[in-house]
Amino acid sequence: MAQVEIIDNELIIHMEGMEHHFLFLWGKNITVPLVHVEGADYNPATAKALYHGPKLMGVGVPGRGTFGLYVGEPEPGEPSLTLWDVSDPNTAIVIRLAHEKYKSIVVGVDNPEQTVQNINAAVTARGTTVGA
């Protein structure tokens, strides 16, 4: 599970637990300027899908858990990498990003609906255009 918090216009994702096989590549925390966060969604079906795109590195058991870097549909000038850290698909949220090395981050959290609501409220309150 990850812990997500918003402090001083930054979204901070604290990665926790022993299931993080590749944390040596990106550290235990990921910090993203709130202005680069487009929003968040809670959709367990995304995490339960059999295919998440080509895997660069990581492990995945369909319907159980997914960890690592996956390549999504590329967009001009934007990264197409998605970072996955989900041990229970029912707790997975998708955090959509712009102007970052990841297009999105998919993490399992204790209270997905509340976490998504908090992220989206912070993005709305920011009141600026992504990348501004």
pLDDT tens per residue, range 89-110: 999 999 999 989 889 999 999 9
Phi-psi region of 39 (alpha: psi -120 to 50; beta: other; left: phi over 0): left
With cut-offs at 50, 70 and 90, classify the pLDDT of residue 17. low
- What is the residue extent of each domain of the chain? 2-126
Buried b (16+ CB within 10 A) or exposed e, 11-27: bebebeeeebebeeebe
Q: pTM value?
A: 0.84
Which pLDDT band holds residue 65 (cuts at 50, 70, 90)? Answer: confident
